Structure 1
Amino acid sequence: METVRVTVTLGAHNIRRQERSQQKIRAGKWVIHPQYLHKGFKNDIVLLKLKPRARINKHVQFISIPRRNEHVREGALCTVSGWGWTSVTGNKTNMMRETNMMREVKLKVQEEKICQQLFRNYQRQSMICVGDEKEEKATYKGDSGGPLVCNKKAHGIVSHARKHNRFPEAFTRISHFEPWIRKQLKRFSLQDIPCFPSSD
């Protein structure tokens, strides 16, 4: 079996440069949600344990996650940041060149019924409907896994959109997975994670 190595880069702004603020740290262990399904992107969440720990400073800081029953309200304006493609048109080389620097976009949380009508596998308890057609802004290829930050908390994770229409998008709802996250963090601290990949 091939060994998979995952490296996380923290504190980056320009990913094409070796900035002093950057920390490149290997993921020693990780856990994929046991009910993850690629079809419909159900339970689209994975946790990484860094080895060694990150150094917390002005460039690398913690962010809170919501509790199980804490929901971000419809109409809330949230931010997403990442290095994903910035254009749907043009060739791949030009798009990749435009994304050296981290970009940030403000997106509005939508009514659940909008995504329920558009996505066959949309699950309101574990997903958030995000992005407004009028604003013409969205995440794109390369942004997956990025945080949806609302009121200084990470409420969502960039998950998926429809192929030919970027608005709205379905994000993973972190509050739904909060009990599972806390359970995994306890297991990480006990070093008791059988059956999961390791890059040791």
Structure 2
Amino acid sequence: MLLLLLLASAFLLLPWAGAGRIIGGWEAKPHSRPYMAYLSIRNVSRMHWCGGFLIRPDAVLSAAHCVPVNITVTLGAHNISKNERSQQKFHVDHWVIHPNYSKKTLENDIMLLKLKPRAKLTKEVSYILLPSHKERVGPGTTCEVAGWGRTSQTKNKTSVLMEVNLKVQSNEECEKYFKSSYDHQSMVCVGDADCKKSTWKGDSGGPLVCNGKAHGIVSYGRKSCIFPKVFTRVLYFEPWIRKELRKFALQDLPDSTSSD
């Protein structure tokens, strides 16, 4: 009977359900990652959460598959179950999903959220830099991922920010499992080959931090295994990000028409 229940629940998982919990990690030092954003998302049928990261006082980057409908962004949090004095909360009315995002293949899994008012920069709230064209990461690079996602493949939840170190893998490693849905130009293959550490449900949208910069966004993985994982490659989308940020700035001009 238990086996049947497990099989039934597996079929109910969304395509990205294996992408986002921190497994095999540890609690982050409080506020050591001031760029981290907690996204509380409500749609018609349920409430869920994702990660994100501040790249400018008025902009948070996350994954398109988080499907925002009614979304609240919390910055400056460590224990998300507490009303910490460091926290800043924003109800987001305006977001931009990449026009070529595919729900089926999760290609172009990237989204920008506009914060209004702008975040107040403090020691607990600050933005993270994006990589330049000379900073593309290769296989073997050790990077960091953090999030408030589940801490096991069952139902273990965490209220505090967790973190873990993961290595960039060869593109062939992800091509082996994901075939043609993996695009080495717009995606990064990441994981722990020993299958002891990973992201999982709830960490989606969080940053892959390599050498102090945000190189990736937690996107998707295999439903039945924690290795490997696919991250959206931030560097590939840098032109699109810059274009949308310029639009954000134009919307704030006194004579412009804002969609907020």
Shared fold (TM-score greater than 0.5)?
yes
Q: What amino acid is aligned across from residue 15 of structure 1 in structure 2?
A: I
Matched, 1:142 2:202: yes
Q: How many Å apart are 1:26 and its aligned residue?
A: 2.0
Alignment correspondent of 1:195 = none
The 8 Å contact of residues 157 and 171 in structure 1, kept in 2 or not, is answered as yes
Q: How many Å apart are 1:67 and its aligned residue?
A: 2.8
Q: What amino acid is aligned across from residue 141 of structure 2 in structure 1?
A: A
- Within the candidate set 160, 168, 193, 2:220 is matched to 160
TM-score by length of 1: 0.89
Task: Trace 1:76-91 onto structure 2 (pairs within 5 A).
Answer: 76-89=141-154
Could you list the structure 1 runs, at least 4 aligned residues long, displaced by more than 2 angstroms after superposition: 2-5, 67-70
The 8 Å contact of residues 41 and 159 in structure 1, kept in 2 or not, is answered as yes
How far apart, CA to CA, are the structure 2 residues paired with 1:152 and 1:69? 14
Q: What amino acid is aligned across from residue 83 of structure 1 in structure 2?
A: W
Alignment correspondent of 1:110 = 169
The 8 Å contact of residues 10 and 24 in structure 1, kept in 2 or not, is answered as yes
Q: 5+ residue gaps in structure 1?
A: 193-197
Report SS of the residue matched to 1:106: strand
Q: What amino acid is aligned across from residue 129 of structure 2 in structure 1?
A: S
How far apart, CA to CA, are the structure 2 residues paired with 1:135 and 1:164? 12
Report SS of the residue matched to 1:6: strand
- Within the candidate set 122, 133, 136, 1:57 is matched to 122
Cα deviations by residue, 1:77-117 (Å, 9 ceiling, x for unpaired): 1110001110113xx3xx12xx1111000000001111011
Q: What amino acid is aligned across from residue 79 of structure 1 in structure 2?
A: E
Higher mean alpha-carbon deviation, 114-123 vs 129-138, is at 129-138
Higher mean alpha-carbon deviation, 118-127 vs 25-34, is at 25-34
Q: What amino acid is aligned across from residue 176 of structure 2 in structure 1?
A: Q
Q: How many Å apart are 1:134 and its aligned residue?
A: 1.5
What is the RMSD of the two structures over their aligned residues, measured on CA atoms?
Answer: 1.9
Matched, 1:181 2:241: yes
- Within the candidate set 13, 20, 24, 2:89 is matched to 24
The 8 Å contact of residues 68 and 177 in structure 1, kept in 2 or not, is answered as no
